[in-house]
């Protein structure tokens, strides 16, 4: 047999298929490979058998659509993979079972000798918690990377074995060309899964934020009512704080996505670290008081000035304080210390220490706790709550500022200390102590002090719309409501308005399209209200003509502040 016939022989691609099975067997997540028009199972790993509760003998040769729930949908997707040769994902929620669950399918083809899809590899993940869904998606990306890495290693071994033989050299060249195609396909799978994950997170964030808005507005409005007893108003303040905390947890998920995609941006300015730390302490003070925890501040740093993003800096300190309060027993103590850290005679860093008398950390987990979704050995223990994102975000933000963050603990039940060191410490700047930040209380603007405006409010969520109408009309504004783009355009044609407050997702179009039309036809300005708060969402709002973008749930104080700032009447 000549070298050319070896190089072009059909067995070469069968060998490439043979590389897939070992990868499936070694994969940590449930994986299976199917072939043929019926998508019959031809190989699988132990994790897949455990997930379905069956042996390999019971599964081999069976059509995939018959061994999983909602099989027809899977069959249609597999048919599409064969037809297009492209990666497919599918999230299926099963709320009919006693224990509701989410099923995530990731499917990609392996190529045959004719460079067309010959088989399909499927990764199947089942989860009952949202954050586990996110973890599963991230793990899917990891599996794609592992697949690419192992294929490359196999190619290198093949090269070594083929040295010295011309025929084998040609075989290797062909194998490498096909392998590169597979690798390019696998990179495409990483990118597509990442986009799918981002879209899923953004959509889920919107769905979670929207119902929080009327709760927050109603609680805030009632808390301001002097006719209610003081103890009732205190309980309403507690509701406000917890809704805001829920929104912050949603933001953490989006921040993690921005960090993983390199899209988190810093807006640095001169700020005073002591003032920002003080604001963060005030945010957690009520929760600390509820547990009779004392917060001690020892600010000894003489260089508390920093060129930093004040909102992100405060986010770091807030996450550390929130953790300390969460893991410190009733009657405990939290200390916040600052000090100058002299690196060289001309270079000073700012050192911040947050220590507590809480449950402590096993020394073996001091580095692990900075990983996303990890809580230092407490994962699965729901006694303390949280999803394990705060420290991962804190480390990323500190590193983006050129600093470092570490943890120390003598051991379990002996407390913990977190140390943040940031470069470029300067003398404290004058006049920037009370910078308004997303994590601090916005300047209080009372409804009585606002200039009375003619407002067009566009919102298709009935409960949110009613809450907004009650609030704005109580503040003395003239308000016209609309629940669609068509209703809003008709209202603008019949009335004169000073400001538009509009949701972005409407039944017959988008708020950005509406704003573009209202600005062009009537010269109106607008404030966007949306459950979508990613960087690209804010960019689109600004491009459409919105002069502010408020992410749901919207606090009364923030809405009033924006109206007071941008809502002066038109001539």
Phi, psi of 92 (to 5 degrees): -120, 120
d(CA 252, CA 130): 13
Model pTM score: 0.48
Q: Which residue has the tokens 């405006």?
A: 453
pLDDT in tens, the chain (571 residues): 333 332 333 333 333 444 566 667 766 778 889 998 889 998 888 888 888 888 888 999 999 888 887 777 788 888 888 888 887 777 777 666 566 667 778 888 887 777 778 888 888 877 665 444 444 444 454 444 444 444 455 555 555 555 555 555 565 566 566 656 665 665 766 867 666 766 676 666 667 777 777 787 788 778 877 888 888 888 777 777 777 767 766 777 667 667 766 767 788 889 999 999 998 898 888 889 989 999 999 999 999 999 998 888 988 998 899 999 999 999 999 999 999 998 888 889 999 999 999 999 988 888 888 887 655 555 444 444 455 678 888 998 999 899 999 999 998 899 999 999 999 999 988 765 443 333 334 444 555 556 789 999 999 888 888 888 988 998 889 999 999 999 999 999 999 999 999 998 889 989 999 999 999 999 999 999 887 776 777 888 888 889 888 888 887 888 888 888 765 544 4
| Structural tokens at position 538 | 């804010």
> Three-class SS of residue 102?
strand
d(CA 72, CA 319): 45
Closest of 63, 29, 64, 60 to residue 43, by C-alpha: 60
d(CA 305, CA 292): 32
Is 506 in contact with 485 (CB distance < 8 Å)?
Answer: yes
Q: Which residues in 226-291 belong to E strands, given as ranges?
A: 269-272
- Residue 538: count of CB within 10 angstroms of its CB: 17
d(CA 513, CA 134): 32
Q: CB-based burial of residue 48 (10 Å sphere; 0-12 exposed, 13-18 middle, 19+ buried)?
A: buried
Q: Which residues sit opposite 70 in a β-bridge? A: none
Domains annotated for the chain, with CATH where assigned, are 3-197 (3.30.450.20), 270-422 (3.30.565.10), 447-566 (3.40.50.2300)
Is 551 in contact with 533 (CB distance < 8 Å)?
Answer: yes
The edge-to-edge listing of strands for the beta sheet with 294-299 is: 294-299, 333-344, 347-356, 416-422, 404-408
| Structural tokens at position 139 | 């793990």
d(CA 263, CA 116): 36
d(CA 399, CA 309): 12
Q: What is the DSSP letter of 447?
A: G
Closest of 327, 260, 334 to residue 293, by C-alpha: 334
Contacts of 19 by beta carbon, 8 Å cutoff, 6+ apart: 150, 151, 154
Closest of 144, 173, 115 to residue 29, by C-alpha: 144
Is 546 in contact with 537 (CB distance < 8 Å)?
Answer: no
């Amino acid at each position: 047999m000549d070298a050319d016939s070896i190089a072009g022989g059909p067995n070469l691609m069968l060998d490439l298929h043979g590389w897939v099975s070992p990868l499936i067997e070694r994969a940590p997540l449930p994986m299976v490979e199917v072939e043929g028009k019926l998508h019959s199972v031809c190989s699988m790993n132990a994790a897949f058998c455990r997930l379905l509760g069956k042996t390999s003998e019971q599964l081999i040769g069976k059509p995939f659509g018959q061994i999983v729930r909602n099989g027809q949908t899977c069959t249609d997707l597999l048919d599409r993979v064969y037809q297009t040769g492209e990666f497919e994902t599918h999230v299926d929620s099963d709320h009919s079972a006693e224990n509701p669950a989410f099923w995530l399918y990731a499917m990609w083809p392996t190529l045959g000798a004719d460079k067309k899809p010959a088989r399909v590899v499927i990764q199947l993940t089942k989860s009952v918690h949202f954050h586990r869904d996110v973890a599963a998606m991230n793990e899917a990306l990891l599996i794609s990377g592992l697949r690419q890495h192992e294929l490359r290693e196999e190619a290198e071994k093949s090269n070594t074995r083929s040295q010295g033989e011309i025929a084998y050299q040609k075989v290797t060249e062909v194998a490498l060309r096909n392998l590169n195609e597979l690798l390019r396909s696998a990179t495409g799978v990483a990118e597509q899964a990442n986009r799918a994950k981002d879209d899923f997170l953004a959509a889920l964030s919107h769905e979670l934020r929207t119902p929080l808005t009327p709760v927050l507005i109603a609680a805030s409005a009632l808390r301001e009512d002097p006719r209610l007893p003081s103890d009732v108003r205190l309980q309403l303040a507690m509701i406000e704080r917890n809704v805001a905390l829920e929104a912050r947890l949603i933001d953490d998920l989006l921040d993690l996505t921005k960090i993983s995609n390199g899209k988190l941006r810093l807006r640095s300015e001169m700020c005073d670290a002591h003032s920002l730390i003080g604001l963060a302490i005030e945010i957690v003070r009520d929760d600390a008081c509820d547990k009779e925890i004392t917060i001690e501040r020892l600010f000894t740093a003489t260089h508390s000035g920093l060129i930093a993003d004040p909102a992100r800096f405060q986010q770091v300190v807030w996450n550390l304080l929130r953790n300390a309060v969460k893991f410190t027993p009733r009657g405990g103590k939290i200390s916040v210390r600052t000090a100058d850290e002299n690196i060289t005679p001309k270079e000073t860093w700012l050192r911040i220490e947050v220590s507590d008398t809480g449950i402590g950390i096993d020394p073996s987990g001091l580095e692990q706790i900075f990983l996303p979704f990890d809580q230092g050995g407490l994962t699965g223990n729901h006694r303390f709550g949280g999803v394990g994102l705060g420290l991962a975000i804190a480390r990323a933000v500190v590193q983006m500022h050129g600093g470092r963050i570490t943890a120390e603990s003598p051991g379990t039940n002996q407390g913990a200390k977190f140390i943040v060191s940031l470069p470029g410490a300067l003398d404290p700047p004058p006049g920037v102590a009370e910078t308004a930040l997303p994590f601090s209380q916005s300047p209080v603007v009372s409804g009585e002090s606002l200039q009375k405006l003619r407002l067009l409010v566009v919102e298709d969520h009935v409960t949110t719309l009613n809450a907004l109408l009650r609030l704005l009309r109580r503040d003395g504004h003239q308000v016209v409501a609309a629940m669609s783009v068509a209703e809003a355009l008709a209202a603008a044609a019949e009335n004169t308005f000073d400001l538009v407050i509009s949701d972005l997702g409407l039944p017959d179009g988008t708020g950005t399209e509406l704003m573009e039309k209202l600005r062009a036809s009537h010269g109106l300005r607008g404030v966007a209200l949306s459950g979508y708060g990613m960087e690209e969402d804010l960019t689109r709002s600004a491009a459409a003509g919105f002069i502010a973008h408020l992410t749901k749930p919207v606090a009364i104080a923030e809405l009033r502040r924006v109206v007071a700032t941008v809502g002066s009447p038109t001539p």
